[in-house]
Amino acid sequence: MAKGIIIREQHFPGRAPIDAYGNGGFRFADMSHRGSILCLPSGIYGWDMQEGTPLDETNLGKVLAEAAEIEVLLVGTGNHLKPLGKELRAALRQAGISADPMSTGAAVRTFNILLAEQRAVAAALIAVES
């Protein structure tokens, strides 16, 4: 049997507050990540999403897969608030998730507060440069 490199999706296997954001990434749990992230009950994952890319069910598939453990999804849409599309809102609502879009900075601050209160919160955070 040949052995080789096994590539696994990297993630932080737990819940942690976001310590800092900006410069195209995030700091949490004494680590840093360049790019956007999903903060889910199962951990923090890198998320291939850039500001301006439309959000849909496909790029929030991980969120929908963990819907049973999520009541509130905070969506950090970048430097400015961008509303979620009707179809995405309906899919999240059908899964029992209340979605709140806001700027990434506001989403980070709100996520940290709700996480400290041990609420069933998740966050989809698009990285910003400033």
Average pLDDT (66-70) is 97
Residue 5 inside a domain? The answer is: no
CATH code at position 57 = 3.40.1230.10
- Which residue, among 40, 41, 2, 39, has the nearest Cα to 21 in the 3D structure? 39
Is 80 exceeded by the pLDDT of residue 94?
yes
Of residues 68 and 14, more confidence is placed in 68
Query: Please, what is the Cα angle at 110 between 39 and 10, to 5 degrees?
Result: 15
Reading the block at residue 52, the tokens are 């301006």
Is 50 exceeded by the pLDDT of residue 7?
no
Handedness of CA 119, 123, 129, 130 (dihedral sign): negative
Report how far apart, in Å, the C-alpha atoms of 111 and of each of 16, 39, 94, 121 are.
Answer: 10, 9, 22, 7
Residue 114 inside a domain? The answer is: yes
The range of the structural domain enclosing residue 62 comes to 11-125
- Give dist(CA 111, CA 76) in Å, integer: 10
Residue 96 inside a domain? The answer is: yes
Domains identified in the chain, total number: 1
Residue 2 inside a domain? The answer is: no
Residue 130 inside a domain? The answer is: no
pTM: 0.91
* 8 A C-beta contact, residue 10 and residue 34: no
Residue 4 inside a domain? The answer is: no
Residue 79 inside a domain? The answer is: yes
pLDDT digits (tens, 9 = 90+) for 15-63: 999 999 999 999 999 999 999 999 999 999 999 999 989 999 999 999 9
Residue 15 inside a domain? The answer is: yes
